Structure 1
Amino acid sequence: MTGNINLSILFYGQFTAEQNNVIQSFLRSLENTENDHVAAVHRWWDVIESYQLFTGLTPTTRTPPMLTLTYFKSLVKKADLGKPNTLFVFFIGSQVTVHQLCRGKCYDHDLIDNKPYLVVENPKILCHGACGWPFQRLDYGTPNQVMVKPLNGNMGIDAMIIHFASGLAADESILYYIFYHIFNIIW
């Protein structure tokens, strides 16, 4: 499988420089480099070869208390720079709520105007007991749950990385978009 998938990244809400660097470091590890002979995260998803960072909103932009699908539609329109084969990825800060997240799912994905998007929320404050595992004890399950220390020392950001990777790997709408629209394969 060959081709480029562009990631249009939007950091929505407050992120520290360290949190931003962790996410960007993970994204860079997805890039396919010809001289890289070391096993890296990009080997999981060789089709992703580039991403773009979208920073169209300023820190003074007023944040609604709860983001909904309607709001994401407007963000996709603002972030769409006309690049083909683009997946819109929204990383949401811990102080912002996304409607329907933390209720059985820790990321959301679908198509908006035939354009795939993926939303990942930081679970540190609002839903650490639902989406912080394996770094935080779940609200349900056995009392003997084994916790893992976050690799980067930040449960929320490390959980976001897990949910972002899960969203890329499990997203049927993104896979449909990639195979049907980019490679013209019907399944």
Structure 2
Amino acid sequence: MASSPLSILSLTILSLVLLPRLGSSKFVDLSSLPLKYHGGPLLTGNLKLAILWYGNFGRVHKQTITTFVKSLNSVAVPTEPSVATWWRTIESYQPTSKGDVSPKINVQIVKKITDKNYSIGKIITQDFIQKLVQLATGGDKSLLPVIFTAKDVSVVGLCMGKCSEHGTVGAGKLSQSYIIVGNPEIECPGTCAWPFQAAAQGPKMMPLPPPSGNVGADSMVLGFASALAGVVTNPYNTGYFLGPPAAPLEAVTACPGKFGSGALPGYMGKVRIDPADGGAFNAHGIRNKKFLLPAVWNPKTASCWTLL
């Protein structure tokens, strides 16, 4: 890692957040368009996570992700900006009376399962998701299964415009929400491991050093943060989103490529550099851990919001 003592780093990435306007050679930044509430339920109260580590994971992957979860509701982090501050913006999507503070959404890991034997293979299609949900939860509908797949596992649908996803299995009273997050180190480092890897398209700028020291671990935190925000604010494709329900832009995906204040289309904004190890970050967590977290659509200001 770099050893620069500078506390602020600005990088320009020119091609990741602009999408072509159909029938035109111009480009439009979709993050300038508002997310709309479509009247459906949000996830509130206590989120009890059942984590499935599918495949082989190193200690750094597990520690980084679990520390991120434990930091979401922590009040013991004295340094701002913090992971908990980022999460409070997600909590603010809940409807409240004027002047009231949004209720807490408490996130807790209550179950962890490891499947080192790749019990359903290394290519995961939609047909297999329900089996993984069952493996993670043991059939407990009160749990939110979060499936992390190792770098040698391919998840059909990921690395093709999205780096993680949330959805539901079952129908009616038997339906259950889930999250699935892949490790992009092998299959799509130039898209889903950016900004810790050089972008697959556009200028080959110097990547940011990951705050944990591990590209896969911090890339999965980004994917998980995006999907967790999405499942809370749009669990059934009837909550907050922009665009078609089959391919919605949500709380995080509506603000692509933004990590710091001053971010513009093609410009990621400012992030801090840890002078101790050179890792790039914008959020403090528990145990003096640091994270790089994505911008969030702020419903109070109707704009993309960053921690810095």
Q: Is 163-172 or 67-76 further displaced after alignment?
A: 163-172
Cα gap change, 1:99/1:49 in structure 2, threshold over 3 Å: closer, same or farther?
Answer: closer
Higher relative contact order (CA 8 A, sep 6+): 2
Cα gap change, 1:62/1:76 in structure 2, threshold over 3 Å: closer, same or farther?
Answer: closer
Mark the runs of 5 or more structure 2 residues left unpaired by the alignment. Answer: 1-42, 88-103, 241-308
Q: Name the SS for the 2:219 alignment partner.
A: helix
User: 1:47 pairs with 105, 108, 119, which one?
Assistant: 105
Let me know the Cα RMSD of the aligned residues: 2.7
Q: Residue 169 of structure 1 aligns with which residue?
A: 229
Cα gap change, 1:146/1:60 in structure 2, threshold over 3 Å: closer, same or farther?
Answer: closer
**Separation of aligned partners in 2, 1:59 and 1:50:** 23
User: 1:151 pairs with 211, 220, 223, which one?
Assistant: 211
8 A Cα contact 1:110 1:173, kept in partner: no
TM-score (norm 2): 0.51
Cα gap change, 1:82/1:97 in structure 2, threshold over 3 Å: closer, same or farther?
Answer: closer
- Shift of residue 177, structure 1, vs aligned partner: 8.9
TM-score (norm 1): 0.80
Q: Residue 124 of structure 1 aligns with which residue?
A: 185
- Shift of residue 155, structure 1, vs aligned partner: 0.9
**Separation of aligned partners in 1, 2:212 and 2:237:** 33
Q: How many residue pairs were aligned?
A: 175
Q: Residue 161 of structure 2 aligns with which residue?
A: 104
Q: Residue 183 of structure 1 aligns with which residue?
A: none
Cα gap change, 1:175/1:7 in structure 2, threshold over 3 Å: closer, same or farther?
Answer: farther
Q: Name the SS for the 1:5 alignment partner.
A: strand
**C-alpha distance after superposition, 1:32-75 (max 9, x if no partner):** 35x636353234334133222331x5433545131011111112
Q: Residue 185 of structure 1 aligns with which residue?
A: none
**Separation of aligned partners in 2, 1:61 and 1:20:** 17
Is residue 97 of structure 2 the alignment partner of residue 36 of structure 1?
no
Aligned-pair identity in percent equals: 33
8 A Cα contact 1:129 1:137, kept in partner: yes
Please identify the structure whose Cα radius of gyration is greater: 2
Mark the runs of 5 or more structure 1 residues left unpaired by the alignment. Answer: 180-187
**Separation of aligned partners in 1, 2:221 and 2:209:** 14
**Separation of aligned partners in 2, 1:103 and 1:61:** 22
Q: Which amino acid aligns with 1:137?
A: A
